[in-house]
Structure 1
């Protein structure tokens, strides 16, 4: 599964960060025009992401693909090949570290996402996992691709696309929950209304929302609310990870909201470079 590929201007920016004025070592050794190849392999079990970008980084520097490309979203075992490229040594060295590191970080996010998705579905087959916009600023397009490759969806791509009412919004309101919900539906009739609630009293007051987001609620509290509001979609948020996802899903949370994948460690990609 390849949701999309980052645009060339972004990939050129990444290459420019690592090689702003040429590769001094390759130039000094006078090996830049020697032909060779580079092979990227999974060092450990992973859900790979960023392989399409790695290929395009190579193409932008004149490298050619050898064999098949392993698509983002593919589960790999240690030693399996992700991508092989051939071309001049100067291009191989210019692309090497940027391509490797990008795949390592994105595969870390994708793999962590896949683990949470698998855990959630073991608790309930219809439970959805969505990832917040708490990615490092400037990395949204890349990290959202990793989330999609891992089998989850974005929680909010931006403030412009969703109606999510926090207590911080309600601090400025002086009206009943029913009035607020009716006003939102008039102004944004095609949007679902999500309201984050801190406890059961707030949840019951805002039960007319399309989705109630339960921030840092214990699993048993989620189960109790699901029993009281069986027709309302509940989203468990705050502290959701692979260790508790199944429990939240069994408790009745239809959606699990998590930032955990963004803080996952990278998945190592082994690289070998050889002369032809």
Structure 2
């Protein structure tokens, strides 16, 4: 179960419906009973149907059937239907379609990468970065999970991930290495992960007891060789590949032997093509 706050849904509704549905009011069709159906025009992983149901309820319509987030649908398949007054259906129409199209797009792209990774390396996980459009995290994370992935890092408060920007204040990698024991002691309930692009630094970190290493933009062939060297030093170290990973190269990165592949590629792309039909009943 994934919970989306009421405040988020109310904000979505208010953005599209600041006061009234002027068109339905002027046409005087609001009191007629109708039905709305959402149909996918392509193969897709649906996400956001639970939030759409709540939006319909908030606006006075009743859902009569739906497919939950994570469902794989085929072209022409109707996956959500609601009934109510025409005014209610039209008020909920566009905001609901936007949620379903954009977040199903993320879920579908995530599933595409997950399937490719698992076909090559069943034990490698696909995780997603926090490089997403501000204000969209709640549903974006749900879409990733619906597609079979997991969030790499939900925020700064969750994990310890040391970047070059941090090392600039510590005297570089050697400064961190000199304090590694103290850092790990202070963060005894968390893993200490460090990002690097340098093989020599990765080997130093592995020997110094870093819990994990994140490799940024290292080509797959080079990374695969480095992973083998590090596994000899510490077979249990967590190894993460990130930077520029997409549908064209994700399989090559899966072959390197890393534990997880981190990507933001799934956030950028076209929405799923969803058809909406509203009729009188």
Q: TM-score normalised by the shorter chain: which range applies? A: over 0.9
Equivalence for 1:250: 255
In 2, the alpha carbon distance for the partners of 1:43 and 1:221 equals: 41
Q: CA–CA distance in 2 between the matches of 1:227 and 1:253?
A: 10
* CA–CA separation in structure 1 for the residues paired with 2:252 and 2:131: 24
Pairing partner for 1:28 from 26, 29, 38 = 26
Matched residue SS, 2:255: helix
| C-alpha distance in structure 1 between counterparts of 2:195 and 2:5, whole Å | 35
TM-score by length of 1: 0.96
Contact kept, 8 Å, 1:123 with 1:245, in 2: the verdict is no
Please give the secondary structure, in 2, of the residue aligned with 1:59. helix
Partner of 1:75: 72
Query: Matches of residues 1-40 of structure 1 in structure 2 within 5 Å?
Result: 3-40=1-38
TM-score by length of 2: 0.94
Is residue 226 from structure 1 mapped to residue 223 from structure 2 by the alignment? no
Q: Does the alignment pair 1:57 with 2:55?
A: yes
Tell me by how many angstroms 1:21 deviates.
Answer: 1.4
CA distance in 1, matches of 2:95, 2:163: 39
Alignment size in residue pairs: 273
Report runs of 4+ in structure 1 exceeding 2 Å deviation.
Answer: 174-181
Tell whether the 8 Å contact from 2:164 to 2:196 is kept in structure 1 after alignment: yes
Give the Cα separation in 2 of the matches to 1:186 and 1:211: 15
Q: Does 1:130 align with 2:131?
A: no
Tell me how far 1:93 sits from its aligned partner. 0.3
Unaligned runs of 5+ in 1: none
SS at 1:251 equivalent: coil
Aligned to 1:267: 272
- Provide the rounded CA distance (Å) in 2 between the counterparts of 1:179 and 1:161: 24
3-state SS of the aligned residue for 2:228? Answer: helix
1:176, distance to aligned residue in structure 2 (A)? 4.0
CA contact (8 A) 2:167 2:176 kept: no
8 Å Cα contact 1:119-1:243 kept in structure 2? no
**RMSD after superposition:** 1.2
